């Protein structure tokens, strides 16, 4: 758990930004289902939109633990903002990891500055947990690919300018899944339905529809057939990011519950004096800290030679389930007030559930964990 002076400084800087700039906008952004663009610009000014970009392209190229800390603290302010940031970082990671020098030079310097915004298009209406079943096809035609298909659950779907696309080059062969980078303004690419969600309402989640979208061969990021393994590799790091966000969300709920328990009086004393409340807070702290330790351990392993599948899935599973439990208890401590929109724990409770679903459900994480254990 020991952090370097630089990591402690980043934690403090991002935590201050989360408290002073993100959290004050969170309630209105949630209610109006609009992303706070001024917050995004602030993230860019801090360099957070360049976390996974190599230094030669204007990025920070941070280590795994620093990446996790940044995600944790942004989520402390609002999970919707942290989700948008992490997906942008997934996109820059794909280009930085799999792109040619020319592709990196074309996209990464501006993406480091926060715009163009990136999106990650893997899931489909009938291919969520099993992306090998995707039906989107990028048909080779001369020195171009012609793309047809629909992608679903796309974070930054409305806001993005660059899409990391996964598609088969042969419709009936999952072994041909390939990764491409596609400009949002490409002819034939349109934004479909915007999802109405339980939580994470400030983050736009849409479908993306590809109809005869022509992209040049130079926009292919991986060799033909290399897309699925590339996606799974990148998502290992993404799961550590979601685990970190879950910890930040849980910590935010815990802090609010501690403050409320010290202020709210019943039967002539603060409710923090009652053992039932104290035990809840103790359990909430323990769950949050367990998630944090597992997340930091997995984050450190991101800098190794192989993606830490076991550690990443363990952290994501434990931290996301903890976020749901901790926010639930925070609402309970607030009583009837916790069920109203006047208190932030209501929003945190709604937001928490998605952490057990996106970038691999808890059930998928347990499948990965057991597979790694059994060999």
Tokens of 164: 């990391």
The alpha-carbon radius of gyration of the chain (Å, integer) is 21
Give the integer Cα–Cα distance in Å for 297 and 1. 8
Contact 113, 93 (CB under 8 A): no
* Segments in the chain forming alpha helices (H): 5-17, 23-32, 37-45, 64-77, 79-98, 101-112, 227-263, 275-301, 309-334, 344-352, 362-374
Asked about 211 being catalytic, the answer comes back as no
What phi and psi, each to the nearest 5 degrees, are found at residue 171?
-55, -35
Which of 306, 359, 363, 372 is labelled catalytic?
A: 359
- Output the CA torsion 92→95→97→102 (10° steps): -130
Tokens of 115: 């715009």
Q: Which of 96, 118, 99, 197 is nearest to 164 (CA)?
A: 118
The set of catalytic residues is: 359
């Amino acid at each position: 758990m020991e952090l370097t002076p630089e990591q402690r400084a980043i934690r403090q800087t991002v935590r201050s930004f989360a408290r002073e700039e993100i959290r004050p906008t969170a309630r209105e952004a949630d209610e109006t289902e609009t992303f706070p663009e001024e917050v995004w610009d602030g993230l860019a000014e801090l360099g957070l939109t360049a976390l996974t970009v190599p230094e030669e392209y204007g990025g920070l190229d941070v280590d795994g633990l620093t990446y996790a800390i940044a995600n944790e603290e942004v989520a402390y302010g609002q999970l919707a903002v942290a989700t948008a940031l992490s997906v942008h970082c997934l996109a820059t990671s794909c280009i930085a990891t799999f792109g040619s020098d020319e592709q990196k030079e074309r996209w990464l310097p501006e993406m480091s500055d926060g715009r163009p915004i990136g999106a990650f298009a893997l899931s489909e209406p009938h291919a969520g947990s099993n992306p090998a079943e995707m039906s989107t096809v990028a048909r080779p035609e001369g020195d171009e690919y012609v793309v047809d298909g629909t992608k679903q659950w796309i974070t930054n779907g409305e806001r993005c300018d660059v899409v990391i696309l996964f598609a088969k080059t042969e419709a009936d062969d999952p072994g041909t899944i390939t990764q491409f980078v596609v400009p949002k303004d490409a002819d034939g690419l349109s934004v479909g339905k915007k999802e109405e969600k339980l939580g994470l309402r400030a983050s736009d989640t849409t479908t993306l529809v590809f109809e005869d979208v022509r992209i040049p061969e130079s926009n292919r990021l991986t060799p033909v057939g290399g897309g699925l393994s590339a996606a799974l590799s990148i998502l290992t790091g993404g799961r550590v990011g979601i685990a970190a966000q879950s910890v930040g969300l849980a910590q935010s709920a815990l802090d609010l519950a501690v403050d409320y328990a010290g202020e709210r009086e019943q039967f002539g004393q603060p409710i923090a004096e009652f053992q039932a409340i104290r035990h809840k807070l103790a359990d909430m702290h323990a769950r949050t800290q367990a998630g944090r330790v597992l997340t930091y351990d997995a984050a450190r392993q991101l800098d190794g030679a192989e993606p830490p599948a076991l550690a990443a899935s363990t952290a994501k599973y434990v931290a996301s389930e903890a976020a749901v439990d901790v926010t639930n208890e925070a609402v309970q401590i607030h009583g009837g007030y916790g069920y109203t929109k006047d208190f932030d724990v209501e929003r945190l409770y709604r937001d928490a559930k998605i952490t057990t679903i996106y970038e691999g459900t808890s059930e998928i994480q347990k499948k990965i964990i057991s597979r790694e254990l059994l060999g």
